[in-house]
């Protein structure tokens, strides 16, 4: 079926169209294509509502054409390298409190969030997940204590 995420497939390539109109150092993408061999997942930002449009399909001439047009942006993307050849385990398609679908989270290798794509400002922004470890709790000691009333 074309509308199912390729769960269990290994990530082979990530192709992006980077938006360079903005001045910040944030990575801003018009769209991102995750290739799992013969299956692809494309995420595109909707400028009107800052939602994410998801397209899942088999590789066809349209996506190959899109890939060819973004080779420059692809060569600059390093954030996905650790995910290459990892199996897609789960996907969360998130709807925010206002009812807008503006975030998609992917879990690779394990059933834990690996990377998320959030629509904001007419583009897609990328966030990597890192689990908080026990010894990192020490950081919380730096938070000012609340007085006992």
Partner 1 sequence: MTEPDDFQEIDLTPGGQKKIGTLANLKDINLTSAIRARGGGQSQVDQVRTDYQSLKVGELANLAATGDADAETAIKILKQAKRKREK
Least distance to partner 1, CB of residue 22, Å = 5
User: Do residues 16 and 77 make contact, with C-beta atoms less than 8 angstroms apart?
Assistant: yes
Which of 12, 50, 54, 91 is close enough to bind partner 1 by CB under 8 A? 50
Which of 2, 3, 4, 48 is close enough to bind partner 1 by CB under 8 A? 48
Which residues does 30 contact at the CB level (< 8 Å), separation at least 6?
A: 17, 18, 19, 44, 45, 123, 124
Instruction: Say how many residues touch partner 1, by CB under 8 A.
Output: 20
- Closest by CA to 129, choosing from 118, 114, 117, 119, is 114
Least distance to partner 1, CB of residue 97, Å = 8
- Closest by CA to 52, choosing from 88, 25, 91, is 91
Is 135 a binding residue for partner 1 by CB under 8 A? The answer is: no
Is 4 a binding residue for partner 1 by CB under 8 A? The answer is: no
For partner 1, the binding residues (CB under 8 A) are: 19, 21-26, 47-50, 96, 98-100, 102, 120-123
């Amino acid at each position: 079926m074309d509308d199912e995420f390729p769960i269990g497939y290994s990530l082979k390539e990530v192709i992006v169209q980077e938006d360079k109109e903005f001045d910040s150092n944030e990575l801003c993408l018009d769209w991102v294509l995750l290739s799992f061999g013969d299956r692809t997942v494309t995420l595109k930002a909707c400028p009107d509502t800052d939602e994410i449009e998801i397209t899942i399909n088999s590789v066809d001439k349209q996506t190959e054409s899109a890939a060819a047009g973004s080779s420059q942006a692809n060569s600059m993307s390093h954030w996905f390298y650790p995910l290459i050849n990892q199996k897609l385990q789960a996907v969360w398609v998130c709807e925010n409190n206002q009812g807008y679908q503006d975030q998609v989270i992917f879990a690779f290798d394990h059933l834990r969030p690996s990377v998320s794509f959030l629509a904001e400002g007419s583009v897609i922004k990328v966030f990597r997940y890192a689990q908080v470890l026990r010894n990192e709790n020490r950081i919380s000691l730096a938070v000012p204590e609340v007085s006992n009333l």
